[in-house]
Chain A
Amino acid sequence: MGVPALFRWLSQKYPKIVSQVIEEKPGDIDGQKIPVNMAGPNPNGEEFDNLYLDMNGIVHPCSHPEDRPPPATEEDMMVAIFEYTDRVVNMVRPRKLLMIAVDGVAPRAKMNQQRSRRFRSAQEAKQKDDDKEEFLKLLKSQNGGALHEDATAMAQKKTWDSNAITPGTPFMHTLAESLRYWCAYKVNTDPAWEKVKILLSDASVPGEGEHKIMEFIRSQRSSPEHDPNTRHVIYGLDADLIMLGLATHEPHFRVLREDVFFQESKGRTCHICGQKGHIAEACKGEAKQKEGDFGEKDKALTDKPFIWLHVSVLREYLEVELHVPQQPFRFDLERALDDWVFMCFFVGNDFLPHLPSLDIRENGIDTLIAIWRDNIPLMGSYVTKDGHVDLERAQFILDGLAKQEDAIFRRRRETEQRRDANAKRRKLNEQNQNNGQNSGNGKFGGPGGRRGSPDYSSPSNGGGRGGRAKDPILAPLDMPLFVPGKGPLTKEERTVTHDMVVNRGAVYKANAANKSAAAALKSQLLSGGQPETASDLNNSPAKQEDGEDGPGDVAEDADATTTPVSASKKRKAEMMEDEDAGTPGRDSPVGSGNPVVDPDEPPPDNVRLWEEGYADRYYETKFHVDPKDIAFRNLVAKSYVEGLAWVLLYYFQGCPSWTWYYPYHYAPFAADFVEMDKMKVEFEKGRIFKPYEQLMGVLPAASNHAIPAVFHPLMTDEDSDIRDFYPEDFPVDLNGKKFAWQGVAILPFIDEKRLLDAMATKYPLLTPEEHARNERGKDVLIMSDRHPLYEEIATNFYSKRQGSPKYKLNPSVSEGLAGKVEKNNEYIPQSSLACPLRDGSMPDLEEDHSISVHYEMPRSIHVHKSMLLRGVKFLPPTLDRADIEATRGRANSSGRSFGGA
């Protein structure tokens, strides 16, 4: 779920769910790296059975890190992924199972979001490349062509297209191969891995990574041999993994993630030249300084601490919070938890836009829980049951919200106005101060700096021709590079910075917000080329204490003085939290290019939710339907109800339909949900997209390098039947928000039939290798030949008396792992292990002591019940009396009787 603020909200409301991970770091003796001994006891004082890696949460940050230069080659990326994975595994030290799940083809409902993110990402990448080119040109002219080759090389490199992280691409193929190799390599070389079974589900297996993990856990729970006291850890970046954890009803469950509150102020590197000590915006393109031993370059990323999120502790909180005194039916924590997860869906999920009146930042979940508590006596039971919504009861919740909707919008407006007024006052104060200092600035002085008021006509410095004037945010090219009246500048002061050139607009705007451009420039030059905005980027702790929000949603809350530069930097932290980390999308910014939004002067909001008649205006503006067409609104609401039912099933039972999706860009109002009890929601399982179909469904033409060439003309040719699916430009609707990246990308929805028809003509032209990449793959189980399970499997598949082709695992030998295995024809017993990376970074092994088989989860035909399993033993509670009283007090004082509902 791309709900960046969810994590912050959770950890503030339920503080004891978070604790620090105690991590053993690799030792160092005389420069020799001593690896962590995973076989040793877990330094956290507890051992864990199973570790699940939502692998996209590793692949994204490793392949295009936000805080250091990207790996030079895809092979380097693989090595970075190995190192990061190794670190995570060493932290958790799973004793039974390691599951590595890479996102495969996603349900159609998810593809709308993927599409939006990938289109935006391509736009952003293009902007970055344009910037670099511009910068290079400028540097050359500035230094008379003498440019250090390190910087040149770095800047010349095209921005790596993170859209390659989509099933079916050559990159994902390489990733799967590399992971298979690496797991086998670890099994061969690390004694602690000999005891662990490794389950690898690569991108060729359909389903989102975390949902493949969920499916696996449910499948094990359905097996009678499953140990209900299995200690699970899931690693990933999504804030909602903790909800998936709750949804398993396995109480010994933790989420592992990087500490997003940890502010790394050092170690950031410029993404232009790859050097430390300055940020891209201040890049001068200087020679690379010699760095110490290898490995240091990774410090910034590897040193970020990790935290646990304890599902068990969240269960304790919710047991108190969700208990309604004198409720007329039996309290059932497991059912109540499901309802709670359901309430969270309203506020944000990857498959539906959230309701206009619900925002995590306005405590939307609390609003819903208060309504839920109020309605418990009326509903007579829980809203959901084993992943199914009772629509009659859900109507109570939406009715409750509908009653508050107008008030919520008005309150939101008041808060915004208050904030704006405060910001303005602050700005005015600052301006007064600055004006005092900068008197006599001549034509560079004065406030202003707004779009449309440039008045900078100094002589050109000779750099960077090229008409950027069409871009309204950019300051004029001939921005002075010296401070008038200060005399000759030192060489250092004169050095052009990347930021001045490429991000002129940003610096200009940033400073224009609170002082004159000339003053800004002056202070920048005097500080040695660091634009003032740099202080924003460093996210110093002091800044945070200042009431600035932690990463994740800072920009959203930031007041109007926040510059686009810092906003864009902050949202990077946010994207790290996103499911599709680093791929801009619905919640991510478009680049500094098109479309551009001025936070000071957002386009007029024609809907004005705070004014009467907003619903009419909303449907007219957003949906382009007659305000009198109430039936249409109910139709939208009906689709939304289907969406809620779909999401709930997806979380609790597995994908109910691969083809269903919400066919609008916007959500209805709570008031539009009527007669829900009469609705019938049914899903048809549908056909799963093939990888190339998904690629054609979510990638923009600019990313066509990731798609087989035969399909390219479909995206670009004028006479292509589906050319309209791939617009280069698309509107972004701010939808009442301040920043473009918070807006809604208005992309046409893919018509499945048209897409498949168009592609059908091209399929016969694929090469055999391309064909193979489009095939559905299987989960792979890898283990050491020293693992007790090896003997059984080897005897069944490779002895003279071979058994059945599918072999049912014996849980008493497999340590509880249930399922079937099948011979993997790619695996040849007693052969060598070849490394697919050809750059020599990882070795081949002469003798491979691992075995690889295909694995099939046990498939239950029954509904997975939201219940604890027999034999669960709980740990001593974490919450003390005071925590419980406080939680209960807060819960009891919410809702109707206290003016809530």
Chain B
Amino acid sequence: MAPIVDDAGNRLGELWVDGVQGDAVLARLQADAALLASLTTLEDEVESLADALAETEDQLLALYELNKVDSGRLDIDRLLHGLVQQAMRLVKADAAFVVLTTPSRIVRSPGLTTPDPCLIQLFERVRKAGSEILLRDTALAFGRTNGKGNVFIVPLPLRERCEIIAALGLWLDRPASTLSPALKLARSIAEQAGAQLEIVLLHEQLVAQARLQTEMELARMVQVSLLPQRSPVVRGLDIYGTLQPALHVGGDFFDYIVPDDANGRPFTFVVGDVSGKGLPAALLMAMTRTNLRSIALRTANSTPASILAQANENLYEDFTKVGMMATVCIGQYDPAGGKLTVANAGHSPVIICSSGSAARLLEADGPPLGVLPLSLWHNTDIPFQPGDVLVVATDGLNEERNSRSELFGMDRLLRQVDRLSTTSSKDIADGLLSAVAQFDTDATQDDDQTVVVLKAC
């Protein structure tokens, strides 16, 4: 007889042989028993390896399924709902939830009625801990009961973020000692979901950027297409206008209304700035510009003040609805009388530089369009003799900031007009823009910059 004993010393059985005797036989019998014990141990190991393999295979299959579901989901809400659903199914959890902080989202499995603040509190614990947490014997409001179970919360790792912004929570109502494989799988799911979330967040960021860019391109297109294509030829005047849109297009515009010789109406110029940026400002600008042009062309004996009054009457309600306003300076030129007639709805800067005098600011005579339902503007006659210069710009010039946050300001602008006043209208406009650009060599242009120059000749 020889005992069959495994490596741990457990007696598994005995090996018997009958009818033979001797030391050689006993030695053979013991060797056979040892071989049997060894085979039994190996069989146990094979069984345990097969179990582990099956588990790994299950996990791989689960992750494959999760990946299959997630692929092509570039929408955060759909991704998070899919994650909750799949995590619950794969881990065999009783409930699941996801908390995402930026953008703010909470998604929970059906029946999980735990209020948002409690889930956020659980998320905050993970965020503060900086890693996963397992809360044993914890209550989560689930359906109509407040059942207790193990709550496992694991962060979704995002490589591009320094802090935790998302976590997956699972409620597992089974003994804690049996949780190990489920937690392992949950970690893998969180890792997979983190990578997917990173792609979705990046995609959303790119879409937002593309949308903004498209909007700005549209705004720029609206703005540029409505500008006069060339300077008009008006006897006695040298005219030049230019507009440099900012990156985030503003609401600047200028326009010339050149009369038909037959109708006897004066040459009219308009410079305006609608508050705000982007497409809303561009649309309001287009509306304001068309309104002014239409009034100037169709109303008999219109003057700058009467055009402003009519435009305010037409546009006041629309401006009020969208919370915007527009500064507008309108002028008409009378070659016979050698004068300009100007009305100004809150527009600045408007600069006059008469020959031999220093440049000075002309103040507005009423508030911008869209502010009050009243007509507060009046016509001001300004003598305009050869050599005199009128500069109507927008606040994008005087409010340009340099790297030290200093404004270009009105004084610098006036000094530049003084310096340039003996040159042509184009040289004055280009010289002013160039002075502003030199002042602000580092920073980007914050607002549209428009300059219209009239010079009597």
A binds B: no
Chain B contact residues, CB within 8 Å of chain A? none
Residues of A within 8 A of B (CB): none
